[in-house]
Structure 1
Amino acid sequence: MLPEIPAFAEHWGHSVVRCPYCHGWEVGDEPIGILTTGPASVHHTWLLRQLTDDLIYFTRGT
């Protein structure tokens, strides 16, 4: 289930992606935001760190 964030669902699969290896290469060398959903988000951060130096981590209180 997608979070209730304005425009999130509209961008799903295009500029909002789930898997850094399935979709991350398309956004490499660009700013990337990571929406924290739980402990696995830290792992995704390390994976995406291989693609860009410009990461923003959104914790949403988690």
Structure 2
Amino acid sequence: MEAHEDRTVQSGERWGHIDELNWAADRATIRSLNNRGEEPSEWLATEYRELNARRAAAATRG
């Protein structure tokens, strides 16, 4: 199975390669901020939570 294949989520949106890259970039940024003892902005935290939820939904739908 290819790691970045498109998957359909419940809302009808597709999870693709760009979504995966955005999720990974947000995750890396948040981890870096946390390691420095800083909090991510509310916007970044919200964006990451939304992408994470979409990613999980796409994974469960296969």
The two structures have a TM-score, normalised by structure 2, of 0.27
Higher strand share: 1
Could you say which structure has the larger radius of gyration? 2
Higher RCO (C-alpha 8 Å, min separation 6): 2
